[in-house]
Structure 1
Amino acid sequence: MTPTPPSLPPSLPPLPPPRSVPATAAAYRMLWRWHFYAGLFVMPFLIVLAVTGTIYCFQPQIEPLLYPHLLRVKPAGQPLGADALLQRARAAAPDGAVATTYAIPARPDASTEFVFRLPSGHSDSVYLDPYSGEILGSLSVENRLMKQVRMIHRALLAGKPGELLMELAGCWTLVMIATGLAMWWPRLRASGLRAWVRAPAAGKRGWWKELHLVLGAWLALGALAFVLSGLPWTASWGQQFKALATAANLGRPAGGPGAQPPATPGAGHEGHEGHEGHEGHEGHTGHAGHAGRTMEDLPLSELPWATGKTRVPTGSGSGVPLGLERVVAIATARGAATGCQVALPATTDAVYTVSCFPSDPQGERTLHIDQHRGDVIRDLRFADYGAVAKAVSYGTALHMGRYFGVANQIVCAAVSLGLMALATTGFIMWLRRRPARALGAPAYPATLPPMRAWVIGLGLLGTIFPMMGLTMLAVWLLDKLVARGRGVPPAPSGQRLA
């Protein structure tokens, strides 16, 4: 008898297709992931920038409180002449010190400051009472508090590597702002004006999330303005930006950076040279008048962005040298003296350079005056700047809290401290959601919508800021490797974020 084969189990119904994550939810999760990476990197730098930026913003109020005996005097009659004050300052300076800069007092109760380069290469400021000629004391240019605050703000006191790191943090702040706004945008569309107000939230994490979200919405525009106005001063991209602005004739007046100054300056002749820009180097030991010197090489503590790469012309090199007092009178006659700095000539063919960097950008001025004949070889004004240089000058004045007085300082401080609060709330949210011994990044979505606009936008951002583009590429590759290592399916071809 033939055995009966065992009955086969009934065929199982096919498995349902895996549920796909809605495109908007997947896009939101990827944006959140990049916002998380950007915020995690930027967070400590934002706190440093906020604290140092707020302190430096109030420099005009803080320094007189720190050094009242050096910076403030009691007006008493007519002040002494600049030459007499310079002679007394030289007598009080250390042996071998060379006078490099004279700061013209900006107000009647301000002391007179001369900067001396010491044999060690450092610089000291010597302060005098302009009415009595009394020596009030001296300060190290490099070690004074506000210089240290400024260098922490720019470079973490770490030199060139610190400058590049702070620049990179500024660039990644753009990614953080963009992704944060993108995640907030659906709420704005759905709630209108209520999107700007913190909504009720369940639990402490929800409370922190709402606070973080509303803070970010209110601060996004200010943060964007801070980043964009600060980047032209950076060590890497800022230099490239100046070169581009110069090539496009947008950052300088007609004449170009290669324009030659007149070989023999005539009375009253004003040459114009190109404007690029860089911040002045405090305590710089360079001398005017040497071939190829630019304004950046002069010992000026502050310098308009537009004049940084402008070449310093040479003088006639013969005749009886003018006194400093006569040079100040020439600058005053042209409306460019009060509050300006004068770089003193170091050689016989060097010129006096008067540089003005006031609160109102339209008052920016640079004069090169022959030290023997008194001719104004070059007179560069705000009206000579190109469109880009003018925009950068206004952005700098606003960024530093200088343009519209105390109100500008308060706005800058509010934005800075708000950004610190944003970084703090983000850190607290991360601690509350982070698993033990794990990074706690938002989960990688299994599928992604095309997000072509973001691909193009981040690509353009990486092209404009090459150093940032390289780090974005590195983060994307690392993110893909981490996601693959955890078994998360990669996005389908043609649907990747970057």
Structure 2
Amino acid sequence: MSTTTAATRAPATGERAAPPNAGSSRGYRTLWRWHFYAGLFVMPFLVVLAITGTIYCFQPQLEPLLYRHRLVVTPQASPRLDEDALLAGARAAMPPGAVATTARIEARADRSAEFIFRLPNGRTESVYLNPYDGAVLGTLDVDRRFMQIDRMIHRKLLLGKPGELLMELVACWTLVMIGTGVALWWPRGAAPARAALVPDLRRKGRPLWKSIHATLGIWIALGAFAFVATGLPWTGSWGKQFKALATRAKLGAPVGAWGGLHLHSGVPGRANAADETDASAKAVKAASSDMDSMPGMTMDDMPLPRVPWAVGAVRVPHSPNARSSGEHSHSLSLAQVVARMRADGLVDGYDVALPASREGVYTVSYFPDDPTLERTVYIDPYSGTVLKDIRYRDYGAVGKAISYGTSLHMGRYFGLANQIVCTVLSLGIALLAVTGCVMWWMRRPRGTLGAPARERAAAPMRGWTGALVALGIVFPLMGTTLIAVWLVDRMVFGRGAEPAAP
């Protein structure tokens, strides 16, 4: 997104001389140098993000095509089997030792019933049944589904935690690239607005690539920034810490969902905390505090494919009767849970995490396209009591904003039009990476990195310096790499930085 350089520089072969007022402002080359480093790092990853993001955006349309014989059934006039009968059929189809963890509730007449199992070898597998006759349609390894692989490439390049940290760095450096790119593009002097907003297709060679790169970059800069901003809260390092901070500040999950409300199932024969007398309220409060301070699973740890961001840090309910002896069967079945949610207005497209132990609860997670409809419900498997019903209106300001951003980021909020907008932005970002790479390769002197030359005199850039420092403080991992790049730039490329045409 760079403009032209100082007139004192000789133009590269095949390029026109730079206008005398272009690139002559102090600080221009410093911005260009940072833009160069940021772009050189993020370019290959932006192409990967653009491709995988576009594919995942069309998950609702692609998966029924990829796995049609498992996901799609022929609607029939006969009534569907209830969830208990289907779950029993799914259990019979799985190997011994497999544990049912999640049920996917679909009310569409042409969709199969899906149950997720944890196998003895640690893998997770989905089994699909025809909801009309209970016939098993097949199984899929959850982690090897095409869309899951695509999602893991998008989030962590299939490299685990190191890949997750790397992609977080890519997102942060993309912010630097966007900011410096807009600053380099900004029209100087009497440059007409059309020249800044419309590519000059009359040019040839590198000037043509530069014109396309600059104008495309400014048109999609806002969308690219929105992609980064809405994706960062889902990262495994900074995003996880930000979620915890927002929750503690009562800006993420609703008040009482983290460390303030004791949720548990009422095992028969034991008193439920909700039924304690006033005389024992103090003791119950103390026990609740102790339970909430114990380490344990959060909603993000649950075997649920989709969990709203705002409740990801909410602790999974525990029973205070974990050490009591005796066996108790759950009084409430899955079919009764589904009937209860249907009566409460929740019909389709949600997941139910089944109780993992006799102290566990049914956890209903609804993550629809419209964030205002998100719900997380905990149901006591013995009494059927709804222990907590967390809705969008209960979220803090940050949780609400991120819920909207997530839906837009995934191309879900306003249907196909949202998917098209996301596709255009993603492909535009990929094209930016390609044009930037072509420009660098055409300009790069043989045998050198091709970094832009330094300023002849240090320019006062307090605003940009302050912005980078702030970015490094907000994103500590980014701050570390900023320092590393600055040191390498001073020590390795500090002398003899080759002049370069823009």
Aligned to 2:368: 358
Aligned-residue RMSD, C-alpha: 2.3
* 1:370 corresponds to 2:380: yes
Distance 2:84 2:319 in 1: 21
**3-state SS in 1 of match to 2:205:** helix
Deviation at residue 29 of structure 1 after TM alignment? 1.2
Could you give the per-residue CA deviations for residues 80-129 of structure 1, whole angstroms, max 9, x where no partner exists? 10000011111111221111100001422111000011000001100011
Residues 459 and 469 in structure 1, CA contact (< 8 A), matched pair in contact too: yes
Higher relative contact order (CA 8 A, sep 6+): 2
Distance 1:226 1:345 in 2: 36
CA shift in 2, pair 1:194/1:486, >3 Å: closer
Aligned to 2:483: 473
Aligned to 1:6: none
CA shift in 2, pair 1:129/1:291, >3 Å: farther
The runs of 5 or more residues in structure 2 that have no matched partner are 1-7, 10-19, 265-271, 276-293, 322-327
More displaced 10-residue stretch of structure 1: 400-409 or 308-317: 308-317
Could you give the per-residue CA deviations for residues 178-221 of structure 1, whole angstroms, max 9, x where no partner exists? 00000111259732354211125543100000010111011101
* 1:164 corresponds to 2:165: yes
Distance 1:341 1:54 in 2: 25
Residue identity in the other structure for 2:74: K
Residue identity in the other structure for 1:251: G
Aligned to 2:57: 57
Instruction: From 314, 317, 327, give the equivalent of 1:313.
Output: 317
**TM-score normalised by L of structure 2:** 0.85
CA shift in 2, pair 1:178/1:106, >3 Å: farther
Aligned to 2:281: none
Aligned to 1:80: 81
Instruction: From 298, 302, 325, give the equivalent of 1:294.
Output: 298
Could you give the per-residue CA deviations for residues 105-158 of structure 1, whole angstroms, max 9, x where no partner exists? 142211100001100000110001111111111111011111100000000000
Alignment of 1:254-269 (within 5 A): 254-255=255-256, 257-261=258-262, 264=272, 266=274
Distance 1:487 1:373 in 2: 74
Deviation at residue 337 of structure 1 after TM alignment? 3.9
Deviation at residue 26 of structure 1 after TM alignment? 3.8
Residue identity in the other structure for 1:437: G
**3-state SS in 2 of match to 1:181:** helix
Aligned to 1:142: 143
Distance 2:331 2:248 in 1: 38
Residue identity in the other structure for 2:214: L
**3-state SS in 2 of match to 1:142:** helix
Aligned to 1:35: 35
Residue identity in the other structure for 1:253: P
Deviation at residue 242 of structure 1 after TM alignment? 1.4
CA shift in 2, pair 1:419/1:248, >3 Å: same
Residues 265 and 377 in structure 1, CA contact (< 8 A), matched pair in contact too: no
Aligned to 1:409: 419
Distance 1:265 1:326 in 2: 23
Aligned to 2:45: 45
Deviation at residue 322 of structure 1 after TM alignment? 1.4
**3-state SS in 1 of match to 2:411:** coil
Deviation at residue 332 of structure 1 after TM alignment? 1.6
Distance 2:245 2:319 in 1: 30
**3-state SS in 1 of match to 2:216:** helix
Residues 354 and 368 in structure 1, CA contact (< 8 A), matched pair in contact too: yes
* 1:214 corresponds to 2:215: yes
**TM-score normalised by L of structure 1:** 0.86
The runs of 5 or more residues in structure 1 that have no matched partner are 1-18, 268-289, 490-498
Deviation at residue 256 of structure 1 after TM alignment? 5.6
Distance 2:167 2:188 in 1: 32
Residues 352 and 371 in structure 1, CA contact (< 8 A), matched pair in contact too: yes
Deviation at residue 246 of structure 1 after TM alignment? 2.1
Deviation at residue 255 of structure 1 after TM alignment? 2.4
Distance 2:144 2:487 in 1: 43
Aligned to 2:122: 121
Distance 1:291 1:399 in 2: 32
Aligned to 2:70: 70
Residue identity in the other structure for 1:411: V
* 1:230 corresponds to 2:231: yes
Distance 1:418 1:125 in 2: 36
Distance 1:383 1:239 in 2: 22
Aligned to 1:340: 350
